[in-house]
Every structure is written in C-alpha cells, then in structure tokens.
Structure 1
Amino acid sequence: MATRTSARRSQQERTRTTTGALVAAARDLFNSDGFSATSLDAICTKAGMTRGAFYHHFSNKEHIFREVYAADQKELAVIVRRAFQAEQDPWDGMAAGCRALLEASLEPAVRQITLIEAPGALDWSTMRGIQAGCKDQMRRGLSIAIEAGCIPDRPLDPLTSLLYGGIGEIALDLADSTDQRTVLEGSLAELDLVLAGVAGRDTPGCAHKDRVES
C-alpha cells in the first residue's frame, strides 16, 4: 500500500513539474510574442519538453492558453483577497480589493495575457467561466459588507454584476491607454464616489461608522 501511494505521489509530482514547465513557458511566449505568433514547437522547446509530453497534458494551444489565463485569474484573486483582508472594515476592504485589482492590471504580463491576448484566444463563454471565481469573490465581499452594516441590504447579484463589470471596463481602458497612471488615478477617484454612493454616503467609507460615531 505504501509503495503504491508513493508511486502515485511521484507520478503526481512529475505531472505537476511537466505541466508547470509547459504553462510557464507558454505564458512567457504568449506575453512576448502573442497568442497567434506562438507555436507549439516554441512552447515545447522553451519548456525543454517533447510534443508527446505536451499532448499528454494539453489538447492544443487554446487548451494551454486557457490554463495560463486561469492561473493568472487565480493570482489576481489572491491579490484582491489579501487587500480585502488587510482592512479591518469590510467596506474599506472592498475598496482596497478593487484598487488592488486595477493596480495589478498595470503589470505588463497581466495586461498582455488577461486584457489583450485572452479575448482573441478564448471565446466569451470560456472567459466568463474562468472569471466566475473572481466575481464570486466580489459577491462574498459584498455579502460580508452587508452583514457588517456597511451598506444597506440589497440583492447581491445585480450589485455584483454592476461593480464587477465596471472594474472590468476600467481595466480594458487601462490596457488601451498610453497614459495608464492618469487613467488609473481618475478611475480610482470615480470608483470611490461610486462605492460611497452604494454605501449611502457622500464620501467613501463604511456607512455604519456614522451610526457608531453619532
């Protein structure tokens, strides 16, 4: 039993090593050369793998791009979660998470993969499915803010779609801009006003603070 368990673990480790090398190589090439110009041979060569090894784990170039994109979305979710958890007040955490996501979208590789290459490499339904985890994360943050009294109780689904969609559009604007920092600062200022409006305040912050301080 122990031998079989050890063998399975070793096989799993080899699989993770192989797929990790291929995904890392693909991400580098998609970032530098773009999805269309990147060949499977280039990915295999960069990863030090054979085509046979590639096809053992991935069906085609779209498949490995999907894995690259999903990995980037998971990393962005971690960035947002850490920003949220760093704030004691959940509504401040929501604002911090939104800002962190937009700041992260300025990173060249993230911008190239998630905002420029993905729409051409993946169909809309696939992208939406991969993004579902990040959207659900925002929904959970809003739910926590409601429970804490930061914003009035309201239907979560339309509010989540409104805020998540708006953040996505801002990120696309940043990707197209030649002056990203100016666009980011202006967008963050408007975001603060939108979040303040959602909380029923004239200025950003948690709505329940007024009740505590009054």
Structure 2
Amino acid sequence: MPPEKTTQKARSDSARASLLKAGRALFGRDGFISTAVNDISAAAGMSKSGLLHHFPSKAALFEAVFEEEEMRLVARVAAEAGGAPNARERMRQGARALLDALNDAMSRQIVLIDGPAVLGWAVWRRIEGDHGIALIEATLREAQAEGSLARLPGSAFSRMFLSALHEGAFSIIEDETQRPAVEIMLDQMIEGLFDRG
C-alpha cells in the first residue's frame, strides 16, 4: 500500500476509534435518545460532518458501539472464566463474570436497555449470536469434547441461558440481595443441562 494510503487509513482508523470511544461514553452515560450527534462529534474532537463521514447516522454509530461492547464483555467473561478446570465450571464462572460486567452502568445502558430498543430484534439478535451466544456454544462444544456433555442442546439453550443472564442482571440491579438466588437459578440451569448428558 502506498505511504499516503497507509497514512490516510491510519487517520481514518484513529477517527473511527475516537468516535466509538466518545459514543460509548455518552450513550453509556445518557442513553441513546438523550445523546446528540453534535455532542458525540465534539467529544471526539471533530465536526458533525466528520462523524457522518464514518457513520451515516447516530443509529449506525450506536450499532458499532453496541457490537464493540459485546466484544468487550465476551473478552472479559472468557478471561475471567478461562482458568476454570472444565467447561461446566467455565460456564458457572462465566455467568458470574457477566453478572459483574453488567453491573457497570455504561454496559447496562448500552447492552440491556438501549440495545434491543435501538437496533431492533433482528439486528440485536444477530449481534448477540455472533458474540455472547457464540461463546456459550463454544463452551458447550468444549464440554462435549471433554466428555461431560453427551450431546449438544442446540441453539435454543444458549439463547435461553443468555436471556436468563440478562434477566438475572436486571434483578440484581433492582435489588442486589437477589444475587445469591440468581446464581443458584443459573447453576441449576447448568447442572440440569449436564445431568441430562
């Protein structure tokens, strides 16, 4: 690639990263509806037209922020659960790590509150499938390879388990004393899956 193209790409990548960072901060703090495009562009140090050059709309920027947040959450969960001795325990530790991560106000606003409402069901479901669901299904395949799960349960279980995690996070946000009960219910889902083989 010619040097001028490399420099132009680096500038474009840097501008995009600045917009994603500013978008996450403002969407996470104020929510999608209350965040203005002008505020995001100013926080990123560029004009509104500069923002619209990279993202055609506020919703398009939010989608990119949402997907980046999903990747961030999956990376955190994988890192925190990665040292567990087996897939069953990785699922247990991963569930707890996601509950912790969703206790962060910014992640909660982007992923749980605005994500489904702003993106719509089809886009939200696709992105969840590419990240959170993919991690659950990978862990289940690891369990099968280890011999602790005789057959895979299908994608319905992964979606139901992630939905239970999201609802559990909401319950804990509303009343943190619910955390032990939420963990027990999630453990029962995991144990029920493995017990059936």
Length-normalised TM-score, structure 1: 0.84
- Structure 1 regions of 5+ residues with no counterpart? 202-206, 208-214
Q: 2:117 aligns with which of 96, 115, 120?
A: 120
Which moves more between the two structures, 67-76 or 165-174? Answer: 165-174
Instruction: Give the aligned length.
Output: 196
Q: 2:184 aligns with which of 163, 179, 189?
A: 189
Partner residue, 2:142 = 144
Question: CA–CA distance in 2 between the matches of 1:46 and 1:161?
Answer: 36
1:125 Cα deviation after fit: 0.9
Q: Structure 1 residue 37 and structure 2 residue 58: aligned?
A: no
**RMSD of aligned C-alpha atoms?**
1.9
Partner residue, 2:195 = 200
Which moves more between the two structures, 91-100 or 161-170? Answer: 161-170
Closer, same or farther: CA 161–117 of 1 in aligned 2, 3 Å: closer
Contact residue 84 and residue 90 of structure 1 kept, 8 A: no
Closer, same or farther: CA 70–154 of 1 in aligned 2, 3 Å: closer
1:54 Cα deviation after fit: 0.9
Where has structure 1 moved over 6 Å in runs of 4 or more? none
TM-superposition CA deviations, 1:120-148 (whole Å, max 9, x none):
32211111111112201211110110121
Q: 1:88 aligns with which of 79, 85, 89?
A: 85
Question: CA–CA distance in 2 between the matches of 1:160 and 1:36?
Answer: 30
Give secondary structure in 2 for the equivalent of 1:152: coil
1:67 Cα deviation after fit: 0.9
Q: Counterparts of 1:56-95 in structure 2 under 5 Å?
A: 56-95=53-92
What is the identity percentage for the equivalent residue pairs of Structure 1 and Structure 2?
27
Question: CA–CA distance in 2 between the matches of 1:35 and 1:187?
Answer: 28
Question: CA–CA distance in 2 between the matches of 1:53 and 1:69?
Answer: 20
Which moves more between the two structures, 80-89 or 99-108? Answer: 80-89
Structure 1: which amino acid aligns with 2:117?
A: G
Q: Counterparts of 1:93-172 in structure 2 under 5 Å?
A: 93-133=90-130, 134-172=132-170
Length-normalised TM-score, structure 2: 0.90
Give secondary structure in 1 for the equivalent of 2:195: coil
Q: Structure 1 residue 19 and structure 2 residue 16: aligned?
A: yes
Question: CA–CA distance in 1 between the matches of 2:171 and 2:95?
Answer: 15
TM-superposition CA deviations, 1:109-168 (whole Å, max 9, x none):
111111122233221111111111220121111011012122232443233233223223
Partner residue, 1:204 = none
Contact residue 26 and residue 68 of structure 1 kept, 8 A: yes
- Structure 2 regions of 5+ residues with no counterpart? none
Question: CA–CA distance in 1 between the matches of 2:83 and 2:143?
Answer: 14
Higher relative contact order (CA 8 A, sep 6+): 2
Closer, same or farther: CA 47–123 of 1 in aligned 2, 3 Å: same
